[in-house]
Amino acid sequence: MATRRKYDLVLFGATGYTGGLTAEYLAQHAPGDTRWALAGRSRGKLEAVRARLAALNPACARLDLIEADVNDAAALRKLAESTRVVLTTVGPYILHGEPLVAACAAAGTHYADLTGEPEFVDSMWLKYHEQAQRSGAKIVHCCGFDSIPHDLGAYFTVLQLPEGVPLKVEGFVRAGGTFSAGTYHSAINAFGRMRQYAGIARQRRQRERWPQDRRIGSTRQSVRFVKALGTWVVPFPTIDPQMVRRSAAAVDRYGPEFRYGHYVQVKKLASVAALVGGVGALFTLAQAGPTRRWLLARKSSGEGPTPEQRARGWFRVRFFGEGGGRKVTVDVKGGDPGYGETAKMLAESALCLAHDPLPERCGSLSPAAAMGDALLARLQRQGIRFEVVDS
């Protein structure tokens, strides 16, 4: 990748709700010498965002504005060629994300997004992983609550365990707060595209080369009561365990054998049935076009909670790790998962890609494989807690 471009990073989607929070975070936390710009479809809306940022940081009054649409390949190519890093909040990514990934892979530009959509991630790997390896681009998906607390949390847990031995890690998620309209829309669209995803996932499994001398897999997962947590736990079929296992495949530190299990905590057994039933109902309704459109209309993109509501948000992921005769318990904690901390994680990922010494590997990567220790240190400095609570 070119060492000197006009910008260090460009935020695409700055006029949306989460994009606006990410822009505000950058205005307040990006180093003063960071050369960054705002990008989106509407010049007028971009100017409004810039004015809001200037009230937080007067230097932002000079931010460049870049008009670009996801359907304008020439504009996206020019954008990608102008910057070292692009971060994007424009989703659902399965509908709007590919053109920007394509532009970054071709230009050797690092890329970070907030997707939690497995079909999109696997499809982009199939289409652009090898091109990004050749160009030197790091294409890093899932740089928000999906999947940084889980991916980096599992990595941090591994670092507390002996090297060169089989390791087992399980993560247990608890959270309070409002999840974004983008996350909701992505989930509904994913439910409605399960057949397409199954084919894409099969193609990736056939092409992807995992280590031949190391074993990466899942723990045996089931609904059960965990005495150490005081709650029931339910296997959590998000993209997060996939990202953890991909990090393990890419990084030798996870040991000769690594197994991971991922769960959500539920206080009462009756709530387990309600959770499974609710997800099943959404899945069923998402299969037909009319009911899927009805579901999507329940929550509008661009909307979000008030600052007071965000201030009450929180999350905790507890990890139990063991290997080589040692056991460890780790907590990863933060504030509002769906918005405030997600904007922080995405912004810090982009700053990490722009400024920090990183592993040389390129292509389509998990956050831990792309940024590892550098991103972990950044998140810790900004108040996301990675703590050993028992060992």
What does each of the 391 residues of the chain score in pLDDT, given as a tens digit? Answer: 445 899 999 999 999 999 999 999 999 999 999 999 999 999 999 999 999 999 999 999 999 999 999 999 999 999 999 999 999 999 889 989 999 999 999 999 999 999 999 999 999 999 999 999 999 999 999 999 999 999 999 999 999 999 999 999 999 999 887 666 666 766 776 777 778 888 999 999 999 989 999 999 999 889 999 999 999 999 988 899 999 999 999 999 999 999 999 999 998 877 777 766 776 777 677 787 788 777 677 776 666 777 888 888 899 999 999 999 999 999 999 998 888 999 999 999 999 999 999 999 999 999 999 999 999 999 999 999 999 998 7
| Cα 11 from chain centre | 15
Q: Do residues 162 and 54 share a domain?
A: no
Q: DSSP letter string over 190-241?
A: HHHTHHHHHHHHHHHHHH----SSSEEEE-----EEETTTTEEEEE--SSHH
User: Are 110 and 166 part of one and the same domain?
Assistant: no
For 107, counting Cβ atoms within 10 Å of its Cβ (0-12 exposed, 13-18 middle, 19+ buried), the class is buried
From the number of C-beta atoms within 10 Å of its C-beta (0-12, 13-18, 19+), residue 127 rates as middle
* 285 and 249 share one domain: yes
Task: Return the pLDDT at 268.
Answer: 82
* DSSP element (H, E) containing 333: strand 326-335
pLDDT of amino acid 284:
78
Q: What is the CA 287 to chain-centroid distance, rounded? A: 26
The answer to whether the Cα torsion of 371, 373, 375, 376 is positive or negative is positive
Residue 188: HSE in the Cβ half-sphere, 13 Å Cα cutoff: 24
Residues 169 and 258 in one domain: yes
Same domain, 112 and 155: no
What is the reported pLDDT for 181?
A: 66
> Do 351 and 301 reside in the same domain of the chain?
no
**Which residue's entry shows tokens 């087992």?**
168
pLDDT, residue 198, reads 87
Token code pair at residue 214: 């190391």
Q: Is there a single domain that holds both residue 187 and residue 332?
A: yes
Per-residue b or e along 77-93, where b marks 16 or more CB atoms closer than 10 Å to that residue's CB: bebbbbbbbbbbbbbbb
Torsion angles phi and psi, residue 139, rounded to 5: -100, 105
199 lies in the same domain as 315: yes
Nearest to 328 by CA among 193, 154, 127, 182: 154
Sign of the torsion angle spanned by Cα atoms 227, 232, 235, 240: negative
Nearest 5°: phi and psi at 12? -100, 125
- Calpha distance 141→119 (Å, rounded): 12
| CATH label of the domain that carries residue 354 | 3.40.50.720
Enter the tokens of residue 70: 């996801």
| Residues 72 and 191 both lie in one domain | no
Domain that holds residue 331: 148-337+384-390
Domain total of the chain: 2
Q: Do both 200 and 293 map to the same domain?
A: yes
Judgement on whether residues 312 and 368 belong to the same structural domain of the protein: no
For residue 185, the model assigns a pLDDT of: 66
Q: Does residue 2 belong to any structural domain of this protein? A: no
Model pTM score: 0.93
What pLDDT shows up at residue 272? 72
Amino acid found at 38: L
Contacts of 215 by beta carbon, 8 Å cutoff, 6+ apart:
256, 257, 258
